Copies of this chain bind each other. A is one copy, B any other.
Amino acid sequence: MLTYDLTTLSGPVYKRIYELIKRDVETGELTANSKLPSKRAFAKNLGVSVITVENAYGQLVGEGYVYSLPKRGYFVSEMETPKKTRFFSKTPIPSIFPQEAPSADFDFSSNQAEPEHFPFSIWSKLMRETMAFRKHDLLTVPHRFGVDELREAIANHLASFRGMRIDPQQIVVGAGAEYLYGLLIKLLGVDLVYCIENPGYLKIKQIYESAGATCRSAEMDPHGIVVDELKRMNAQVVHISPTHHFPTGITTPVSRRYELLAWANEEEDRFIIEDDYDSEFRLNGRPIPSLQSIDVNEKVVYLNTFSKSLTSTIRISYMALPVRLAKRFYQKLSFYSNAVSTFEQYTLAAFIRRGFFEKHINRMRLHYVKKRAIILKMIEERLPKDRYRIIENDSGLHFLLQLETSLSTKDVIEKLREQKIKIKAISDYDAIAKRNDLRQFIVNYSNLKLEGLEHALDVIRKTIDVQ
């Protein structure tokens, strides 16, 4: 029977067991495919609980040191070249990174995807097929703009989903939206004045500025970014989300869209970047055509991502350039290799082409409609009618909760934080005024945990009740 002296290490007991077994797997002390003791017997032998051993085995399985066979137990995984010694000493230097804030018990601000909805089985199947049938393609350097098949699949998707007519040659695939912003700055010029919406994602401003560009924040009215503001700021490139603005939820109407296009047409080097980040989740209402589809003067760069519709951790985004910019990109920047793995580009191409993406979006949309209804109902049940107002529009994955209270926005956030509830307000995304009296809070519901919501709403009710 395997025996360890657990006093040689510190930390949680399950972690020590994990570390000791891991070491022995790595050094070859435990040989491949040998059976580990049963959880019960091992726990008894070490004088610990079965749960503790279970946690240790779970982590070992997760990291691939150990595998499990149903009804047979746990076995040591094969290691190709067992290390005789561990070269790397665990902590040669003290922690470089500052302590991250402890995570909240309940988080209204997370915009990640829910893990239980990612289509793992089909993705795994397509990845396997890709590796079985596309070996040569996978190892061939693709077109600088991305794998041809993926660009064709995206063009087809945009045609059927958004009614957009885009040629695959106009599409550039990139490693996340941030990466594409960086390419756009190189393409359009670092010496131009870029303008973003205020309020808005302040990260976009940071990205423009870290690349050396000037970036200004232009105020919005209820129809979106204000064209006179752009003129006042001498903007040359404006970066907007007209379909569903974050965080206000505003959808820019067609009239304002034409105003924006007219502004862009006034000067040769004015462009609009249309960031359509969550348009797949328009929940009701008739679709508004994208700016790109009503642009006849090659002024709009259309940008979208699979972060919301699939997962942000896969890091695949794309942009559709007007033809003349696609040509300029090819001439000026084609020495850049495409930054996304061919393995995932071919898999995603098959996922879209074979209809799984459309099915996934439809399923997720239905799921979010239901989830939003449940959340709105809970709010209605838990908060007094005269103390809140829901501000939403017909698309996207968040809505606004405006609270009536004598507390300032900042005070509400701080008091909830003390009670381990994380929430953000419009003012957190405001680069200019940071209005403390708006009391408009953001409910990102894509990853909201329904279990804790009733309690969180009760805490909110008590918090805003304070005189």
Chain A: residues with CB nearer than 8 A to chain B? 26, 61-65, 67, 77-83, 86-89, 91-93, 95-98, 112-113, 115, 118, 120, 123-124, 126-142, 149, 152, 155-156, 159-160, 165, 167, 169-170, 175-176, 178-179, 182, 186, 190, 203, 206-207, 210-212, 311-316, 323, 326-327, 330, 332-333, 335-344, 350, 353-356, 358-359
Contacts and interface: CB of A to CB of B under 8 A. Distances in A.
Q: Which 10 A-B pairs have the closest CB atoms?
A: A80-B355, A87-B159, A81-B355, A313-B342, A80-B359, A175-B339, A175-B175, A115-B139, A88-B159, A88-B156
A80 to B, nearest CB: 4
B96 A118 contact: no
Contacts of A137: 62
Given A112-B140, A118-B139, A159-B88, A95 B169 contact: yes
Nearest to A26: B353
Given A115-B136, A313-B142, A129 B64 contact: yes
B139 A77 contact: no
A86 B140 CA distance: 29
Nearest to A203: B335
A407 B287 CA distance: 67
Contacts of A113: 139
Contacts of A79: 354-355
A298 to B, nearest CB: 11
Contact of A120 (B93, B96, B131, B149): B131
Contact of A97 (B155, B169, B176, B178): B169
Copies in the complex: 2
Given A87-B156, A314-B343, A358-B81, A170 B337 contact: no
Contacts of A97: 169, 330
22 contacts: A64-B354, A80-B354, A80-B358, A82-B355, A83-B160, A88-B152, A89-B165, A93-B170, A96-B169, A96-B170, A98-B330, A112-B140, A115-B135, A115-B140, A120-B131, A124-B127, A141-B313, A175-B175, A175-B340, A176-B339, A186-B211, A190-B211
Nearest to A95: B169
A134 B62 contact: yes
Contacts of A342: 313-314
A132 to B, nearest CB: 8
Q: Which of A131, A135, A186, A354 has the most CB of B within 10 A?
A: A354
Contact of A77 (B149, B212, B340, B354): B354
A139 B112 contact: yes
A335 to B, nearest CB: 5
Contact of A341 (B65, B165, B179, B344): B344
Q: Which of A65, A156, A190, A353 has the most CB of B within 10 A?
A: A353
Contact of A207 (B115, B323, B336, B343): B336
A175 B343 CA distance: 13
A312 B169 contact: no
Given A63-B350, A175-B340, A323 B96 contact: yes
Contacts of A159: 87-88
A77 B125 CA distance: 12
A149 to B, nearest CB: 7
A167 B92 contact: yes
Nearest to A160: B87
Q: Which of A134, A142, A315, A333 has the most CB of B within 10 A?
A: A315
Contacts of A126: 64
A192 to B, nearest CB: 12
